[in-house]
């Protein structure tokens, strides 16, 4: 069995705990054993998973991999700690708040001979697979992708573009490398409203 720990118990972290505690039959998750979870808040146990300290998770010889599901700003530091401790790491996107930091983490994982995987579960859904089939072999002339969400705390999530990075991953996976041609941002603090509009161009313009 491959020992794991979940770091962070927000929506994503709770889903990780649930799935690791109840793996689908014949799935790779059946070979993973959850040794506990790490959180700044005190919970005790969640669904029979026990809370352990960060120090114990880093020191444990039984834990081989960490699932990081904390706020965006802490991803980089947490990845570094677990790689330094000789653990494999799966992190929810984005890996870091800068491309420079992300490249440094990739290099660190390679030097440590550990897997560093950025998770984007939407790319594995049946709906997305169907969308990919529908656009295969077609030329993109023009398109718009619009999505909404709640107001984000930028001190935790980073610049607003990071909240849309999942959709950017969609577009690159569907249409190849993209170039940013323009980007604008509008904020209305009195209404707790923010909007970002970005225009991209594909390699064939």
Residue where one domain finishes, among candidates 88, 119, 150: 119
For 118, residues 6+ apart whose C-beta sits below 8 A from its C-beta are 91, 92, 93, 94, 95
* CATH number of the domain where residue 20 is located: 3.40.50.720
Would you place residue 174 in the very low, low, confident or very high pLDDT band (cuts 50, 70, 90)?
A: very high
Domain that residue 109 falls in: 2-119
Average of per-residue pLDDT across 133-153: 85
Domain co-membership, 10 together with 92: yes
Domain co-membership, 111 together with 167: no
Give the tens place of pLDDT for each residue, 47-95: 889 999 999 999 999 999 999 999 889 999 999 999 999 999 999 888 9
Domain co-membership, 106 together with 74: yes
Residue 38 lies in a domain: yes
Domain co-membership, 86 together with 179: no
Domain co-membership, 18 together with 80: yes
CA nearest to 95, candidates 123, 70, 59: 70
Residue 105's pLDDT is: 98
The pTM of the full predicted model, rounded to 2 decimals, is 0.78
Residue 151 lies in a domain: yes
Residue 149 lies in a domain: yes
Residue where one domain finishes, among candidates 119, 140, 173: 119
Domain co-membership, 80 together with 171: no
Residue where one domain finishes, among candidates 64, 87, 119: 119
What percentage of the chain reaches a pLDDT higher than 70?
99
Give the tens place of pLDDT for each residue, 118-139: 988 788 889 999 999 999 988 8
Which residue would you say has higher pLDDT here, 124 or 183?
Answer: 183
Task: Give the span between the Cα atoms of 37 and 9, in whole angstroms.
Answer: 8
Residue 180's pLDDT is: 92
* CATH number of the domain where residue 138 is located: 3.30.360.10
Half-sphere exposure of 39 (CA within 13 A, CB side): 19
Would you place residue 110 in the very low, low, confident or very high pLDDT band (cuts 50, 70, 90)?
A: very high
* Total of domains in the chain: 2
Residue 124 lies in a domain: no
């Amino acid at each position: 069995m491959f020992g794991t720990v979940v770091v962070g118990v927000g929506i994503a972290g709770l889903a990780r705990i649930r799935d690791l505690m109840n793996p689908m039959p014949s799935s790779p998750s059946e070979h993973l054993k959850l040794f506990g979870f790490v959180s700044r808040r005190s919970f005790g146990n969640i669904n029979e998973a026990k809370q352990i300290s960060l120090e114990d998770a880093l020191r444990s010889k039984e834990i081989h991999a960490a699932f990081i599901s904390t706020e965006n700003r802490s991803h980089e530091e947490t990845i570094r700690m677990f790689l330094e401790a000789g653990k494999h790491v799966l992190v929810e996107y984005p890996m870091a708040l800068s491309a420079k930091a992300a490249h440094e983490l990739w290099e660190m994982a390679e030097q440590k001979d550990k897997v560093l995987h950025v998770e984007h579960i939407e790319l594995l859904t049946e709906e997305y697979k169907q969308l990919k089939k529908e656009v295969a072999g077609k030329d993109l002339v023009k398109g718009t992708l619009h999505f909404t969400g709640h107001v984000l705390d930028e001190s935790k999530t980073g610049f607003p573009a990071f909240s849309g990075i999942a959709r950017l991953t969609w577009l690159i996976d569907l249409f190849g490398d993209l170039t940013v041609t323009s980007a604008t941002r509008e904020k209305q603090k009195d209404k707790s409203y923010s909007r970002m509009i970005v225009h991209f161009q594909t390699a064939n313009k």
